[in-house]
Structure 1
């Protein structure tokens, strides 16, 4: 299995603008999936916010971003970045999850999600927020 780590930036309503800006700087391709696209709208005012987005460029640049929903606490100084670990092997990701989860606070248990075969989020014992998922193509 191969895995990658990617900086995952968190915003409150500005993720699309940030992704577009990073695209203008680094080039590459932008993908932005809204809460509406994913069928996960909990606040109608946030339906067009980015639930998952990324910019990937041929030069190796890769950044992910999303808009933290209003129901979730967010402070740019406290919850500004996730470390995203993405792979294609559920057994290996499950193993990595088990290791990271020791002494961690589970934010979202590792399980199948609407947008990925496997997805989970935790804050490790050092306060670092990790998102692990099995990559799935977006067929929007």
Structure 2
């Protein structure tokens, strides 16, 4: 038996733009369904927002997202900030999305694409515990942790 987990991100009106970015970075296919697609009258405010969104790539990347009903300002629901301070990561965010690969070269391309208009928390570089580690908060308020993982024996 196997299971699969997929991060589900909750946005306040910009789920479509975030999911389009993630697809452009990680590849794969994008599925978007709006509230209107599932029966909300198209003339109502918010009917064009995302009720179900998915990016799935053959490289293993998967993320879901949707726009929570109601308030549209702000970014990711439950957002906050993450920063480095005195050699430690300080955050009030409930989650990070973690991306791992066996090589720094593979991670670097994803990092470079996602880093556009992002806040770099920790540059992607060799660390005491990994051949590559970095953190950034993208333009939608999602914090990503990148790390080179050891090859399994």
Length-normalised TM-score, structure 1: 0.49
**Relative contact order, CA 8 A, sep 6+: which one is greater?**
1
Greater Rg by CA: 2
Name the structure where strand makes up a greater proportion of residues. 1
